[in-house]
């Protein structure tokens, strides 16, 4: 078979694999299929707190990026992590990075954690969960868990504005200016987040690759 046809087959196969990752949404967070280190960041379009479209992929071209996915402003573990990120934000900025944090919360809810923790970095809405699905970190909450959360006063339908019952597994990605995923930390245990020192070390290492 001519080389050019083999190359075409590889391109098609890669595209199909990426599409499968983007559409695969398990019921169990342990079964997610996160995007791999070394691959290109997919097209990600999210919303600003004012509801305007924001192209993450284009923003990454301007400077290397720490891309954070969190469950929502209702999650105490997420809020603690957002506050910890603020503590290392200045060091990451000195390295040339920007921090973009994304959750399923509606745009108008994003101001709550910003005001509570004095965040200087940007928060964005992925209420349709398209970005999380494209990154392969989305999972669907089981109905009994959705109802259990409501008993705690947490209504993910109200917070996102959708009834898809999808959440992202909390994740941190270091993305190069060329759009390459340089580092990732994805943990199905939402109570455990990446340590700030580890993230800074990964950010420094990524600049040398």
pLDDT digits (tens, 9 = 90+) for 30-78: 999 999 999 999 999 999 999 999 999 999 999 999 999 999 999 999 9
CA distance 124 to 47: 6
Looking at the predicted structure, is the pLDDT value of residue 15 above 80?
no
Which residues form the domain of 51? 3-207
Q: In the predicted model, what is the mean pLDDT of residues 125-151?
A: 96
Looking at the predicted structure, is the pLDDT value of residue 9 above 50?
no
Nearest CA to 152 out of 72, 50, 89, 49 is that of 72
Which element (helix H / strand E) includes 13? Answer: helix 3-23
Cβ atoms of residues 164 and 129 within 8 Å: yes
pTM confidence score? 0.87
Instruction: Give the pLDDT band (50/70/90) at residue 23.
Output: low
Which string of DSSP letters, residue by residue, matches 62-106?
TS-EEEEE-S-TT-HHHHHHHHHHHHHHHHHHHTT-EEEEEESS-
State pLDDT tens for residues 161-195. 999 999 999 999 999 999 999 999 999 999 999 99
Cβ atoms of residues 168 and 71 within 8 Å: yes
Taken in order 28, 160, 67, 64, the sign of the CA dihedral is: positive
Looking at the predicted structure, is the pLDDT value of residue 12 above 70?
no
Residue with tokens 């209702």: 74
Nearest CA to 41 out of 71, 12, 61, 27 is that of 61
Instruction: Give the pLDDT band (50/70/90) at residue 94.
Output: very high
Looking at the predicted structure, is the pLDDT value of residue 80 above 80?
yes
Nearest CA to 136 out of 46, 19, 47, 48 is that of 19
Cβ atoms of residues 111 and 125 within 8 Å: no
CATH number at residue 125: 3.40.30.10
Number of domains, the chain: 1
């Amino acid at each position: 078979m001519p080389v050019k046809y083999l190359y075409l087959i590889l391109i098609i196969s890669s595209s199909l694999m990426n599409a499968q990752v983007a559409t695969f949404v398990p019921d169990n967070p342990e079964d997610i299929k996160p995007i791999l280190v070394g691959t290109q960041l997919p097209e990600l379009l999210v919303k600003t707190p004012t509801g305007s479209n924001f192209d993450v992929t284009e923003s990454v071209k301007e400077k290397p990026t720490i891309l954070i996915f969190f469950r929502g402003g209702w999650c105490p573990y997420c809020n603690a992590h957002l506050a910890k990120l603020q503590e290392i934000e200045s060091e990451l900025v000195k390295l040339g990075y920007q921090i973009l944090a994304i959750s399923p919360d509606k745009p108008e809810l994003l101001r709550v954690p910003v005001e509570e923790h004095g965040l200087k970095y940007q928060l964005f809405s992925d209420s349709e969960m398209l970005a999380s699905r494209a990154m392969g970190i989305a999972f669907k909450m089981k109905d009994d868990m959705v109802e259990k959360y409501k008993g705690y006063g947490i209504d993910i339908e109200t917070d996102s504005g959708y009834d898809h019952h999808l959440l992202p597994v909390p994740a941190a990605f270091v993305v190069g200016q060329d759009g390459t995923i340089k580092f990732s930390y994805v943990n199905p245990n939402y109570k455990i987040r990446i340590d700030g020192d580890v993230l800074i070390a990964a950010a420094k290492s990524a600049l040398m690759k």
